[in-house]
Amino acid sequence: MNKSLSYLILWAFLSIIGVFVGCTSHKSHYVVVLSMDGFRSDYPDKAHVPTLDSLGRAGVKSAFRPSFPSVTFPNHYTLATGLHPDHHGLVNNFFYAPDLDLIYRIGDNDAVTNPAFYGGEPIWNTAEKQGLRAASFFWVGSEAPIQGMQPSICKTYDKTVPFRVRADSVIAWLQLPEEIRPRLIMWYMEEPDAIGHSDTPDSPTTIAKVEELDKVLAYFFAEARKLKHFDEIDFIVLSDHGMATYSPDKYVNLNDYLPRDSFDYIFDGVPTLLYPKETYTDSAYAILQQAPHVKAYKKGEIPEQFVYGSNPRIGDLVVIPDIGTYVQFRSESNPRLGGAHGYDNFAPEMEAIFYAAGPSFKKNVELPPMANVNLYLTIARLLNLQPAPNDGDIQVVEQLFRP
């Protein structure tokens, strides 16, 4: 008998008697992941959030360190794939892809639904390929047929859908007949990111929004608790990044330093990606060393901790503002007060919430911050899925689980 056939027979035998090497399997086990955009890790300490607090007591509370750049699309797709943006190819919310000769913009439906932008394997594909149905309510990437696949249930993005309606859909999906019920559900809310941008993370209105979101969670969990199989569901509530206040006195307009026509593409903001015309990189780099409140790097010389700089889609120059600085490259300057993210992903202001509670997780445990590349492996482990290659660390993931 050849080796692979005997392995297959052994695997089938172990499966029948319910032994899965290295992990436990449960026939009907569900994972529900909610992302609340821009929910900074310290907001729960500043607000009255009884639902999040009880989630922390019921399970594991930690914080998620975003991957660089600490913006929405790269990080949601990192959460889905377990890969750093440098490795999955969604290198910013806005970028030029020389491999496709196309520009990616988060508001551009043709770009967002084009699978060619998305590398790696999102967890919903891993699940579907291994026979488990997955559902997405607005998770970044789920609208594109990546590897020719999409989650069994997925929605076209529409930010006007009220959060409670989204919660109701998730509950309804969990009530579907068992044969078609999704085993993995990933859903999303745009707040408190929007209010953090407009009003700053320090404003009372941001804290009020956080409290409002906690009430949506209270509603969701009250409904979930009514499900017969509530005890079979592992819940994860997380965010993609935090938020920092920037002020007008530290505003930088790169237009004051560099000629626009020396660049093929400019994507300004935090961070700023610059694509200098041939031979202009060194001059632009030298000039940028004079600009205040920013650090400019040549691609390839970006400090290792950012895991950023090998992907051809990253501009030849990357400008990372200091916390407190907003950067533009515009003909008109617009210095103002506001909130932003996209900064150094190790800055405490960029840290996001992470809560996990359910039958698989430890109870009432607080863990130090973890890199968000670990979510993919966490879900794979929960659903007993063979993971695709990823940047997660199984030792970090194992700390979350009950022995």
Q: Which residues are catalytic?
A: 72
* 208 contributes a contact to ligand AMP by CB under 6 A: no
Stretch near Zn ion under the rule CB under 5 A, chosen from 3-11, 129-137, 238-246, 324-332: 238-246
Return the residues of window 29-58 that contact Zn ion according to CB under 5 A: 37-38
DSSP 8-class letter at 401: B
Report the SS3 class of residue 318: strand
Does residue 327 contact residue 272 with C-beta atoms inside 8 Å?
Answer: yes
Shortest separation between residue 389's beta carbon and ligand AMP, angstroms: 24
Among 128, 143, 240, 351, interactor with Zn ion by CB under 5 A: 240
Return the residues of window 378-397 that contact Zn ion according to CB under 5 A: none
Q: CB-based burial of residue 247 (10 Å sphere; 0-12 exposed, 13-18 middle, 19+ buried)?
A: middle
Stretch near ligand AMP under the rule CB under 6 A, chosen from 59-67, 190-198, 202-210, 299-307: 190-198
| Angular region, 175: left φ>0, alpha ψ -120 to 50, beta rest | alpha
Return the residues of window 124-153 that contact ligand AMP according to CB under 6 A: 138, 140
* Residues sharing a CB contact under 8 Å with residue 203, sequence separation 6 or more, in sequence order: 195
Q: Residue 85 has which token pair?
A: 């943006």
Among 81, 93, 126, 374, interactor with ligand AMP by CB under 6 A: 93
Does residue 372 contact residue 352 with C-beta atoms inside 8 Å?
Answer: yes
* 72 contributes a contact to ligand AMP by CB under 6 A: yes
**Nearest by Cα to 55 from 323, 234, 240, 254:** 234
**Nearest by Cα to 53 from 307, 382, 355:** 355
Stretch near ligand AMP under the rule CB under 6 A, chosen from 12-20, 118-126, 167-175, 186-194: 186-194
Among 191, 193, 223, 234, interactor with Zn ion by CB under 5 A: 193
Residue 27 touches which of Zn ion, ligand AMP, none (Cβ within 5-8 Å per kind) = none
* 72 contributes a contact to Zn ion by CB under 5 A: yes
Q: Determine how many CB atoms are found less than 10 A away from the CB of residue 14.
A: 12
Report the SS3 class of residue 134: strand
Q: CB-based burial of residue 129 (10 Å sphere; 0-12 exposed, 13-18 middle, 19+ buried)?
A: middle
Shortest separation between residue 339's beta carbon and Zn ion, angstroms: 8
Give the number of residues in contact with Zn ion, rule: CB under 5 A.
5
* 27 contributes a contact to ligand AMP by CB under 6 A: no
DSSP 8-class letter at 386: -
Among 106, 116, 227, 287, interactor with ligand AMP by CB under 6 A: 106
DSSP 8-class letter at 40: B
Closest residue to bound ligand AMP by CB: 72
Residue 371 touches which of Zn ion, ligand AMP, none (Cβ within 5-8 Å per kind) = none
**Nearest by Cα to 35 from 64, 67, 68:** 64
* 194 contributes a contact to ligand AMP by CB under 6 A: yes
* 157 contributes a contact to ligand AMP by CB under 6 A: yes
Residue 314 touches which of ligand AMP, Zn ion, none (Cβ within 5-8 Å per kind) = none
* 71 contributes a contact to ligand AMP by CB under 6 A: yes
**Nearest by Cα to 190 from 159, 169, 164:** 159
Q: Determine how many CB atoms are found less than 10 A away from the CB of residue 43.
A: 27
| Footprint on this chain of Zn ion (rule: CB under 5 A) | 37-38, 72, 193, 240
Footprint of ligand AMP on this chain (CB under 6 A)?
37, 71-72, 93, 106, 112, 138, 140, 157, 159, 188, 190, 193-194
